[in-house]
């Protein structure tokens, strides 16, 4: 059966976990985003939510069994598997993940997964101990190795009272990821298997055991790039300054505090990487001396001598063997002039200039806007959620990398 509309067709599988109630909202979010949705529930999912809810929200009968003669007559399960542009399972329980990893097809949902060529997205939801169990970790790694895209899980308080990773991501986040992925899957596909190094967050330069010089970077921009790249299949290493964010799923994170620590980590991790994306707000100066004990407020004023930190990007751009270098510039005015100056001085392949000091943009905020410059070109990325901005930036980066790889093109 083929649809006459050009809407993205999402087959939503609902497995048996308490988060199944959130999947009802997920259907709405997907449909609001323009998708056509059909729902398949496992037997256990029916213990948590009724079929009627999904039927009303999706506008189509809900399938639950391979052995429903009436439903098979209307649209056989193989037809249903072919109908889907995307398979999304939310919540994906530990049991379902294990069965998928083993290639089991003992119910309608697992049979559909084997019978479909469509990209498979999983939004895991389970107790944090079950998520941390080596068996689940192995199963997830196997599925990722087959190109399955993982969405979450999120960290936080769970229905059982535990705290930790295992909560299903919010429906709006899942819907956006799938719909974005549906639109940009091909454009990001060169990232599959590509080793990338990303830096994010601020650096803290200690003054004494309780004080430091820092800045307002939350790490959100760099983490969004890491998340989108990892979801597209890149092997992402994230060197992170002190932030209050969890590492995106599938991303290897190395925590650092100061600019010198960040430089050492970047140095160690750079080998073999195809690109380095330097989104970190590295402090340009650090105290010349770190006091061993807390400085007392004896006098009316206090002077602290600052010395220059190394410029991590500029130093590594001098290497003969260097990956594609994408720098950031945080500017308040004369954005193009300053950004192009840094592009040239630091010998970068590309620079993303964001205007900071504007409400809702740049530091700390959930959204960003930027102009990206390279030798001979530029592109604007309009104000949007940092994940959307990250996706557009990665598409631009891949285009430049492809251009640079063309024989005889040194631009």
Binding stretches for ligand PMT (CB under 6 A): 217-221, 259, 278-282, 284, 309, 311-313, 327-330, 342, 354, 356, 362-364
As to burial, measured by CB atoms within 10 angstroms (0-12 exposed, 13-18 middle, 19+ buried), residue 292 is exposed
Looking only at the bridges linking them, the beta strands covering 154-157 and 163-167 are: antiparallel
Query: Least distance (Å) from ligand PMT to the CB of residue 258?
Result: 11
Give the C-alpha separation, 217 to 231, whole Å. 23
CB of 27 to ligand PMT, least distance (A): 31
Q: How many helices (H) and strands (E) does the chain have?
A: 14, 19
CA separation, residue 300 to residues 113, 204, 233, 297, 369 (Å): 70, 25, 56, 8, 42
Closest to ligand PMT by CB, 159 or 358: 358
Beta carbon nearer to ligand PMT, 140 or 207: 207
Q: Which residue shows structure tokens 């410029």?
A: 311
Instruction: Provide, rounded to whole angstroms, the least separation between the CB of residue 190 and ligand PMT.
Output: 22
Catalytic annotation present for 160: yes
The smaller minimum CB distance to ligand PMT, of residues 107 and 349, is found at 349
If the CB atoms of residues 89 and 281 are measured against ligand PMT, the closer one turns out to be 281
Kindly state the smallest distance separating residue 273's Cβ from ligand PMT, in Å. 15
CB of 167 vs ligand PMT, minimal distance in Å: 23
Alpha carbon distance, N-terminus to C-terminus of the chain = 48
Token match 């899980």: residue?
153
Catalytic residue among 132, 137, 141, 160: 160
DSSP E strand boundaries for 93-245: 120-124, 149-150, 154-157, 163-167, 195-200, 205-206, 212-213, 235-240
State which residue, 37 or 279, has the beta carbon closest to ligand PMT: 279
Min separation Cβ 136 and ligand PMT, Å: 31
- Backbone dihedral angles phi then psi of residue 239, each to the nearest 5 degrees: -95, 115
Please give the torsion angle defined by the CA atoms of residues 175, 180, 182 and 188, in that order, rounded to the nearest 10 degrees.
Answer: -140
What CA–CA distance (Å, rounded) separates 61 from 18?
22
Give the catalytic positions in this structure.
160
């Amino acid at each position: 059966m083929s649809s006459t509309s050009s809407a993205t067709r999402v087959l939503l599988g609902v497995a048996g976990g308490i988060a199944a109630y959130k999947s009802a909202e997920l259907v709405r979010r997907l449909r609001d985003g323009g998708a056509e949705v059909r729902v398949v529930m496992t037997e256990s999912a029916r213990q948590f939510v009724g079929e009627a809810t999904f039927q009303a929200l999706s506008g189509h009968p809900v399938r639950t069994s391979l052995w429903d003669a009436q439903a098979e007559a209307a649209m056989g399960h193989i037809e249903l598997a072919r109908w889907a542009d995307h398979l999304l399972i939310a919540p994906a329980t530990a049991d379902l993940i294990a069965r998928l990893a083993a290639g089991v097809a003992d119910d309608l949902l697992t049979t559909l997964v084997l019978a479909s060529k469509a990209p498979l997205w999983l939004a895991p939801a389970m107790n944090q101990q079950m998520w941390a169990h080596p068996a689940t970790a192995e199963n997830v790694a196997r599925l990722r190795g087959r190109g399955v895209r993982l969405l979450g899980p999120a960290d936080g308080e769970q229905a059982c009272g535990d705290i930790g990773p295992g909560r299903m991501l919010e429906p709006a986040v899942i819907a956006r990821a799938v719909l974005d992925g549906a639109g940009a899957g091909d454009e990001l596909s060169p990232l599959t298997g590509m080793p990338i190094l990303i830096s994010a967050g601020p650096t803290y330069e200690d003054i004494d055991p309780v004080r430091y010089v820092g800045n307002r970077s939350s790490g959100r921009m760099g983490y969004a790039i890491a998340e989108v790249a990892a979801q597209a299949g890149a092997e992402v290493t994230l060197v992170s300054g002190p932030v209050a964010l969890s590492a995106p799923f599938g991303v290897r994170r190395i925590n650092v505090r100061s600019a010198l620590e960040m430089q050492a980590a970047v140095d160690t991790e750079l080998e073999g990487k195809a690109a380095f994306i330097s989104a970190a707000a590295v402090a340009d100066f650090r105290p010349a001396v770190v006091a061993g004990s807390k400085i007392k407020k004896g006098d009316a004023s206090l002077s602290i001598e600052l010395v220059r930190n190394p410029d991590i990007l500029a130093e590594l751009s001098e290497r003969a063997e260097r990956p594609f270098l994408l720098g950031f510039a945080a500017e308040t005015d004369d954005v193009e002039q300053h950004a192009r100056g840094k592009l040239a001085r630091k010998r970068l392949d590309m620079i993303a200039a964001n205007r900071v000091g504007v409400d809702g943009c740049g530091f700390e905020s959930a959204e960003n806007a930027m102009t990206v410059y390279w030798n001979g070109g530029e592109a604007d990325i309009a104000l949007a959620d940092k994940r959307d901005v990250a996706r557009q930036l990665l598409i631009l980066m891949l285009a430049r990398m492809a251009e640079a790889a063309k024989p005889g093109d040194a631009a």
